[in-house]
Amino acid sequence: MHEMSIAMAVVEQVEQAAREHGRGAVAVVRLQVGELAGVVPDSLAFCFELACSETVLAGAELAFETVAARARCRPCEAEWAVGMPPDLTCPHCRGGQVDLLAGRELQILDVEWADGPAYAAADQEG
């Protein structure tokens, strides 16, 4: 189950941020998960709870922001919501030259510390 490796990676990254920012406890970790990311949220939540044991994340809530899958046809530039199972054929021109615009995301959005203000992962980019 790859959800366990994802949960362990999230815990590791949040623990590192906690050390860097002098934080002792985590209340909430928010993840952005695309519909096509291949992640089962219930399984990830279960694995997250196990991975948090005996860390600064023990008892932390795992919250999800789901990103809808969207695609765009290169020839006709039509955009549409990609359903499940994914059909990457353009519904307008029936073409197959398609770019997936959204739906594969899997990232930490932010962390809410139990003892202070939130930490947005995006604040550390660039």
In a domain, 124, yes or no: no
Pick from 39, 28, 41: nearest CA to 121: 28
Q: What is the CATH number of the domain that holds 112?
A: 3.30.2320.50
Do 17 and 73 sit in the same domain of this protein? no
- Write out the residue range of the structural domain in which residue 91 sits: 69-102
Do 23 and 73 sit in the same domain of this protein? no
Do 62 and 111 sit in the same domain of this protein? yes
Distance separating alpha carbons of residues 46 and 50, to the nearest angstrom? 7
- DSSP per position, 52-108: HTTSTTTT-EEEEEEE--EEEETTT--EEE--SS---S-TTT----EEEEES--EEE
In a domain, 2, yes or no: yes
The rounded Cα 102 to chain-centroid distance in angstroms is: 12
Do 47 and 9 sit in the same domain of this protein? yes
Do 51 and 81 sit in the same domain of this protein? no
pLDDT under 70: residue ranges of the chain: 1, 116-126
Do 11 and 42 sit in the same domain of this protein? yes
What pLDDT was estimated at residue 85?
A: 82
In a domain, 125, yes or no: no
Do 44 and 73 sit in the same domain of this protein? no
In a domain, 46, yes or no: yes
2 assigned binding-site residue: yes
90 assigned binding-site residue: yes
Do 19 and 54 sit in the same domain of this protein? yes
Structurally, how many domains does the chain consist of? 2
Do 53 and 75 sit in the same domain of this protein? no
What pLDDT was estimated at residue 122?
A: 54
